Amino acid sequence: MNFFAELKRRNVYRVAIAYSIAGWLLLQFASTFVPILGLPEWVPRLIFLLLVIGLVPTVIAAWALELTPEGIKLEKNVDRNETETVQTGRKLNFFIIGTLVLIIVFLIVERVFIANVGEPPPVTVIDAGPNKTIAVLPFADLSKDRSQEWFADGLAEEILNALARTPDLMVSSRTSAFTYKGSDKDISTIAKELGVAHILEGSIRGTGKRIRVTAQLIRAADGFHIWSQTYDRDLEDVIGIQEDVALRIANALQTTMDPKALQDMVRVGTRSVRAYQAYIQGLSLRARSFRTSNWQFYLESYEQFEEARRIEPRFAVAHRESADYWKVQMNPVRRQTGLTDLKPPEMRDKFRERIDLAIETAKDSIEVIGSRAQRATVGLHLRNAIRFFQEYLEARPHDYQAWNNLLVVALLAADRDAGAIALAELKAAGEFDRVAAAMYVGNGYRFGKASVAADYGLKALERWPNHTGISYQTHRSLLWAMRVDEAATLFARINQNDSGTAVTRSRQACAEGRRDDVLRILEDLRRADNHSLADEWLILMMLGDKQAATELLQVFESNGVTYQLASWLSYHTFDPGPFPSLMQMLQQERVKRPPPAEIPFACPAD
């Protein structure tokens, strides 16, 4: 008898098949019920490993042993005339058929009744329900000398940042929430104005090396305290306090994230208390600079981020914030520029050094992608920047600033599809957050949606009547829609609360045909110390003096940093033609920019 015939006679084939089928069924049971029973994820892998290891001895046993009426014997001790291999083979056939029937029944039951039980939900959930909205208010400083205000503001902002990284929570932006610093409005009113279902408020009291932090999560609908905690700790434990608060709030709001992923997400990024304190002081100073428009605080915030970097060289977030400072300094369109005497190439080198360190030291792959998007933006690798922002936003769908950054890069690249998606996201977020609303209104007119953006802005002002950004952007949108009378009404309200910017006054004057008034505004602007070059350019364009507007920007043509000049590409009235360095970049990036738009409310010709 040959070898293969002997394998068949001894039922080795049947045993191997029966073992494999039974093992597969066991694995299916394990894969289905391990999540339901809350067992460790490694249990199915362990069962698989044991089954693989057990296959060899099972086959050897089938070869060496024989099943007889007297029991199992060694095959060499069995008289072949007395063996019952045929009967054993039949029994194995019945076992195989029975197991296959069990598999079919199991698959039907699993498909109908168990398919979704215990299955973890997807990590990224873009559509957050109305009950998963929260605003983090500035914490109150209850210290006797009120010396911990910076710490209270910074801690609240860092908790906000940690929660905002959770994909299925919608968190009101810092700018929106911090508007209520020192407010005496009740929680339900604040929640209604912010459009959130929950409010996190807290306080800090510092005494020497001890600190007491009280935090409470409140359901706005009925004032119910869902969670509250008082931390009476050494100052050295402040990092643990911040991480614990963010983690408990996310859990209280029933985030769908995996617990381990959530815990990693709320981590600060440093275990150095001194570095962390410098970092949150930087956050506090930066928030104050936006509240007061005093950009000296913005410079001081950068100095604190630099201190955090010095203390902890692997503090990725501090590197990123310092890099952002230099990105802003290179952008002449931003209000916070002019805080350094460095030349543009030196500013660019400062940015590159810090953003590269942010990428190198980041512990989160998503943060790496976000920093790469910023680096690609400044390097004017526009297609890469769009791709990186899109990847980042898949994981951080409620980062409104990132959506706005994507929108700006899309404008530079003349990518209307990417821009339209970002614009739609900001429009949706603007129903919930005033900063996102201002971003949408400020960009809608650039996509031919001036009247739609104006209506949206007017509606937003009914909810947030004193928001300067929404007022400014809505006024511009009304004029681009040539709704001059409505713009005049809004302008009067802006002037009632504020003197209005030179650009706002010039727009309204041009729309009403008052060219001489605009010329006087321009003259006053030029006499002012450190006046905004962007404002002067905008007014020249309204006056129709395109040659003077072009000559004004020639200073950026030869300074070696094309990013500065590219900042004007976000204006669809800008003509890059007279600037060779810019045209070269657009050609390299294969950007087909439409002809410059004409300003419908421009001043009448001289």
Give the best-scoring range by mean pLDDT among 101-105, 261-265, 315-319.
Answer: 315-319
pLDDT value at residue 75: 60
Judge whether residue 57 has pLDDT over 50: yes
Give me the count of residues in the chain.
606
Give backbone dihedrals phi and psi of 140, rounded to 5 degrees, phi first: -80, 140
pLDDT of residue 161: 86
Q: How far apart are CA 393 and CA 373, in angstroms?
A: 11
Single out the residue of 566, 595, 564 nearest to residue 582, CA to CA. Answer: 566
Residues 41-45: contacts with CB under 8 Å, at least 24 apart: none
Predicted confidence at residue 74, as pLDDT, reads 61
Mean pLDDT of the region 280-301: 92
pLDDT at 600 over 70: yes
Q: Radius of gyration (Cα) for the chain, nearest Å?
A: 33
* pLDDT: which is higher, 204 or 96: 204
> Is pLDDT at 41 greater than 60 in this prediction?
no
Q: How many CB atoms lie within 10 A of CB 254?
A: 11
In 3D, which of 433, 431, 403, 430 has the Cα closest to residue 419? 403
% of the chain at pLDDT higher than 70 = 81
Distance CA 441, CA 432 (A): 14
Helix (H) or strand (E) holding 133: strand 133-136
The class level of CATH for 130-268 reads alpha beta
C-alpha closest to that of 14 among 119, 123, 114, 87: 87
For the chain, domain boundaries: 3-114, 130-268, 430-488, 501-606
Q: Are 205 and 142 in contact (CB under 8 A)?
A: yes
Measured distance CA(375)–CA(391) in Å, rounded: 15
Average pLDDT of 212-220? 91
Concatenated DSSP letters for 325-363? HHHHHT-TTSTT-------HHHHHHHHHHHHHHHHHH-S
Q: 483 Cβ partners below 8 Å, 6+ apart?
A: 451, 454
Burial class of residue 248 (count of CB atoms within 10 Å of its CB; 0-12, 13-18, 19+): middle
Give the least confident one: 87-101, 439-453, 460-474.
87-101
In angstroms, the CA 596 to CA 572 distance is 6
Question: In this structure, how many other beta carbons lie within 10 angstroms of the beta carbon of residue 381?
Answer: 18
Q: How far apart are CA 593 and CA 416, in angstroms?
A: 10
Write down the mean pLDDT value for the chain. Answer: 85
CA distance 204 to 154: 11
d(CA 476, CA 483): 10
Structure tokens that stand for 218 in this block = 């409140």
- What is the average pLDDT across 460-465? 92
Listed in sequence order, the residues at least 6 apart from 407 whose beta carbon sits closer than 8 Å to its beta carbon are 419, 422, 423, 426, 439, 443
Q: Kindly tell me if the per-residue pLDDT of 117 is higher than 50.
A: no
238 contacts 276 by C-beta, under 8 angstroms: yes
Q: Residue 135: name the closest of 175, 177, 163, 165 by CA.
A: 177
| DSSP states of 203-239 | EEEEETTEEEEEEEEEETTTTEEEEEEEEEEEGGGHH
Bigger pLDDT: 160 or 92? 160
What count of other Cβ atoms lies within 10 Å of the Cβ of residue 48?
16
